[in-house]
Amino acid sequence: MFGLYAWMYEQESQRTSNRIKAALSSKARKGEFKGSVPPYGYRLISGKLVLAEDDTPNNVKRIFRMYLEGKGFDAIARTLTREGCPTPAQVIGKKNAGLYWQGTSIKKILTNPHYVGDLVQGRQTTVNVTSKVREEVPREKQIITENAHQALISRGDFEATQQYMEGRRRLEAKPKAKKHLFTNYLYCADCAKALWYVHYRKGYVCGNYYKYGKHVCSQHSVKEMELIGVILADIRKSAETLNKNEVMGRLEAKTLQARKQAEKQMQSLQGRIEKLKEQKTGIIRLLASGTITETEYKEATESGNAELYSLQDQLKGFQSLQANNSTGESIVRLKKELKQFLKLSELTPEMVHRFIDRIEVQADGSVNIHYKFTATALLTA
């Protein structure tokens, strides 16, 4: 019965979705803007786009002008961030709006046909009600109303921008960038941004500093070869220490304690998951009996589904961890691996993955290396 109910509700949801799409398409053909958020530089009044009465229209014009002058997406984003221009998310009052412009936001503005005065809607659509994946709609099937509102950019400049963008895309096509040894392991101790590898420095610098400049964060740089030397020396030292019975005993006790805590968390997760499933079944029965409406059903299940999926992912993570580890085996395996790595003269990606959890770099260049078997601050400026 559960499967039958689910199929029935999916079919009804699909019909509702089709009716909503038809209504929105009708509004679009009448020249009304059917979205909830107007393009950056515009405001929405009675279904029509009008120019905003702030600096955002001028910012749009500057973005097009800077791009045609040769600046890239990220360079334009850095300029706007440095000048304190409000981001699109800040303009609409989004709660989690970021402070900095992103290159992706610049690209969206440069490719938005609304800025020439045309109302172009239905550019994307969802595959079906059970998927959030969106696909592009061919231009001939899009709903286009020419000269529907005041233009910010001339058609000539907009077309030149698209041609220039296509040309740069072909020119800049290159093989996938090499992933360096400490990529996804090095983080800035102040802003928490990942460090980026810079070739001419032969090391890593804070991503925020490299992208936005010193007014956002400082360098937090570290040389790759220095870091490799320190980590290899520390791994050898840790392998020698593991030969002592006292240290081995402490590691075994900590491993056993962590395993017991994991089992308790797994039991708690399983209990919560079962409770959510029962609640969901009850809500479906209420919908089937007509006690609640479909809208009420969606509101009641939306947050519950998100929590359920999150809890199931957490449970899978604990189960995988428990399956691959036992109290004694993990210690023995770690000791064998460390002895094996003692024979190597270089730090390999496999070693980094097995032993290192996270490396935090301070403003003065000192680092705090968090190992998966211990945590020590090793490299100082």
- For the residues 49-64, what does the mean pLDDT come to? 92
Is the pLDDT at 109 greater than 90? The verdict is: yes
pLDDT of residue 5: 46
pLDDT of residue 126: 58
pLDDT of residue 106: 94
Greater confidence (348 vs 227) lies with 227
According to DSSP, the residues that pair with 136 across neighbouring strands are 124
Greater confidence (241 vs 258) lies with 258
- For the residues 228-248, what does the mean pLDDT come to? 69
- For the residues 292-314, what does the mean pLDDT come to? 78
pLDDT digit string (tens) for 305-348?
777 777 887 777 767 666 655 555 655 665 665 556 556 667 88
pLDDT of residue 316: 77
- For the residues 233-258, what does the mean pLDDT come to? 65
pLDDT digit string (tens) for 183-211?
888 999 888 888 989 888 888 999 888 88
Taking alpha carbons only, the member of 17, 36, 60 closest to residue 121 is 36
User: Minimum mean pLDDT among 68-77, 173-182, 215-224, 357-366: which range?
Assistant: 173-182
User: Minimum mean pLDDT among 192-196, 370-374, 376-380: which range?
Assistant: 376-380
Separation between Cα atoms, residue 314 and residue 338, nearest integer Å: 29
Is the pLDDT at 376 greater than 60? The verdict is: no
Greater confidence (369 vs 253) lies with 369
pLDDT digit string (tens) for 138-157?
766 677 778 888 899 998 99
Give how far Cα 243 sits from Cα of 122, 230, 345, Å: 67, 21, 21
Greater confidence (160 vs 175) lies with 160
pLDDT of residue 4: 45
* 49's tokens: 């786009």
User: Minimum mean pLDDT among 101-115, 245-259, 292-306, 329-343: which range?
Assistant: 329-343
Is the pLDDT at 9 greater than 70? The verdict is: no
* 25's tokens: 């398409």
Is the pLDDT at 3 greater than 50? The verdict is: no
Is the pLDDT at 158 greater than 60? The verdict is: yes
pLDDT of residue 134: 57
What is the 3-state secondary structure of 304-334?
Answer: HHHHHHHHHHHHHHHHHHHHHCCHHHHHHHH
Which residue type, as a one-letter code, is found at position 305? N
